[in-house]
A and B are shown apart, each in its own frame.
Chain A
């Protein structure tokens, strides 16, 4: 570890002591001045520009036992989403619609802050955000989850597990949920004489004597897929796709979700010290548009890779 001359930066209280100190110690003891010095040069400690996001990868189908699954990594943040379908009777008000249940978990492996007996505060918040965004974007047409109107429909249980928490948790979670829905393959289903619905595995497809109810409808047609971007605000600087450290230091985050047609699906700025003027909001929207294009390309690539296999 080299010793750097950390002479006075843009923060009070960091002058004399900081004169000769190792970089890592300065980073731990005076995080805000550390970041301020980087912001003066418009760069971040991991050498990213203020408006560039980390490397994102999507891989479809890691969980073989689930009907649809996806593993998403944004930098070090890792999310695993899996969908399992079960048959249920639809409600009487909506006899031709299925339903989606979303649950988000942060098991203790993901972060030193999460301990048994002290679950992460943000987990239920992100869980609700996910459900709201998936519902309001209208990405999944619930009518496609119907099997027999009034008698049987699918309920899709979406479980998202955070395996490594390093900032931008909602972004990675939403992306993994979207990717899992893209990968979802609805199982073949048949009905017995008593009216009981059961799944037919693909090997039995040719041999079965029962009538297959949904031979053609195997994949969901997703419309207006939502793409998110979280940024943190500090005075007039906007840092896109923050790491966990940046989120803790800057304290004010804003999440925007746009769909493929550039409609605003969700805006989430839960209070915080930093105030956002209209210019900053407009700037965030521009950045989100750009990120959306990036994510769209990455998602399409991962789908075509899977289809090649």
Chain B
């Protein structure tokens, strides 16, 4: 199957190889949460809600007194993928992605400022079309900012792949399931440091470097967009406050 048309150079959804899908972010969608955000990357739509910092719920989990405990739960709605699949709550894929998101966000939250408390990040996937991991991390960043939790930098994430000898940015579900490599990168935007890097399938080293660079470029573009949303949100808050 030709994922990149040899004549026009376009992908199956009409994008160019280094073009990202349409991004849309919205802050404050769940009023009950301390912070929340809706993030869309093309057809992938994700809601993140942050509760915290709040009191430790289970005393036994208090491992380190000097830091806040960050917890994360990732779940997909039954209708989020093409076929309705009955999803058991703790299935392996969800647990793995929960762990990945938790450790990525732990890298940027200043946990030392909130000892003896916990921060819960819940992510719910409403529509899945590839790149759910990245969309979840981006949504979680916005939600943490909405909750006012101190962070050392914003974390953004993007995926890239390599099909038909072309590096492709931001794979959708069809391209992801094509069997080619899938590199997911999460960076701390301003500090330019990589916190998350996952790859499956085989890639020669120099191709890997190209693909990783492409994904990092994508992350920086998303960081730019996220900053704009946060600025808009702050302006709105300022307006409402009447200053």
Name A residues whose Cβ lies closer than 8 Å to a Cβ of B.
63-66, 69, 76, 78, 80, 82, 84, 86, 103, 105, 107-112, 115-116, 157, 159, 161, 163-166, 244
The answer, yes or no, to whether B68 is at the interface (CB within 8 Å) is no
CB contact list, B42-78 vs A, under 8 A: 43, 47-49, 51, 54, 57, 71, 73, 75, 77-78
Segment at the A interface, from B122-130, B178-186, B235-243: B122-130
The answer, yes or no, to whether B33 is at the interface (CB within 8 Å) is yes
Let me know if A112 and B33 touch, CB within 8 A: yes
The answer, yes or no, to whether B145 is at the interface (CB within 8 Å) is no
The answer, yes or no, to whether B36 is at the interface (CB within 8 Å) is yes
Segment at the A interface, from B13-21, B79-87, B155-163, B217-225: B79-87
Pick the residue among A66, A107, A165 that contacts B124 (CB under 8 A).
A107
- Report the Cα distance A183→B51, complex, angstroms: 34
Let me know if B82 and A65 touch, CB within 8 A: yes
Let me know if B126 and A108 touch, CB within 8 A: no
A65-B81, A115-B57, A161-B124 known; A109 vs B43 contact (CB < 8 Å): no
The answer, yes or no, to whether B120 is at the interface (CB within 8 Å) is yes
- Binary CB contact string for chain B from 186 to 221 against chain A (1 if under 8 A, 0 otherwise): 000000000000000000000000000000000000
Chain B nearest CB from A72 CB (Å) reads: 14
Closest to B57 in A: A115
Q: What are the residues of chain A within 8 A of B126 when measuring CB–CB?
A: 63, 80, 161
Closest to A112 in B: B51
- Binary CB contact string for chain B from 1 to 33 against chain A (1 if under 8 A, 0 otherwise): 000000000000000000000000000011111
Q: What are the residues of chain B within 8 A of A65 when measuring CB–CB?
A: 79-82, 127
Pick the residue among B48, B54, B73, B79 that contacts A116 (CB under 8 A).
B73
Closest to A76 in B: B31
Pick the residue among B80, B82, B122, B127 that contacts A108 (CB under 8 A).
B122
- Report the Cα distance A66→B31, complex, angstroms: 26
- Report the Cα distance A78→B126, complex, angstroms: 14
Q: What are the residues of chain B within 8 A of A80 when measuring CB–CB?
A: 77, 126
CB contact list, B101-131 vs A, under 8 A: 120, 122-124, 126-127
- Report the Cα distance A105→B77, complex, angstroms: 9
Let me know if B78 and A163 touch, CB within 8 A: no
Q: What are the residues of chain A within 8 A of B51 when measuring CB–CB?
A: 112
Let me know if B32 and A66 touch, CB within 8 A: no
- Report the Cα distance A175→B51, complex, angstroms: 28
Let me know if A166 and B31 touch, CB within 8 A: yes
Q: What are the residues of chain A within 8 A of B32 when measuring CB–CB?
A: 76, 110-112, 164-166, 244
Pick the residue among B36, B57, B79, B123 that contacts A66 (CB under 8 A).
B79
Pick the residue among A63, A66, A109, A244 that contacts B33 (CB under 8 A).
A109
Q: What are the residues of chain B within 8 A of A161 when measuring CB–CB?
A: 77, 124, 126
- Report the Cα distance A108→B123, complex, angstroms: 8
- Report the Cα distance A109→B120, complex, angstroms: 9
Q: What are the residues of chain B within 8 A of A84 when measuring CB–CB?
A: 78-79, 84
A112-B51, A115-B57 known; A103 vs B81 contact (CB < 8 Å): no
Q: What are the residues of chain A within 8 A of B127 when measuring CB–CB?
A: 63-65
Chain B nearest CB from A235 CB (Å) reads: 28
Chain A nearest CB from B53 CB (Å) reads: 12
Q: What are the residues of chain A within 8 A of B124 when measuring CB–CB?
A: 107, 109, 161, 163
CB contact list, B121-169 vs A, under 8 A: 122-124, 126-127
Chain A nearest CB from B64 CB (Å) reads: 20
- Report the Cα distance A173→B122, complex, angstroms: 21
Q: What are the residues of chain B within 8 A of A116 when measuring CB–CB?
A: 71, 73
- Report the Cα distance A250→B60, complex, angstroms: 34
Q: What are the residues of chain B within 8 A of A82 when measuring CB–CB?
A: 77-79
Provide a sorted-by-A list of 6 A–B residue pairs whose CB atoms are within 8 angstroms.
Answer: A64-B43, A109-B49, A116-B71, A161-B77, A164-B29, A164-B31
Counting chain A CB atoms within 10 Å of each CB, the highest count among B29, B32, B120, B124 belongs to B32
Q: What are the residues of chain B within 8 A of A66 when measuring CB–CB?
A: 79
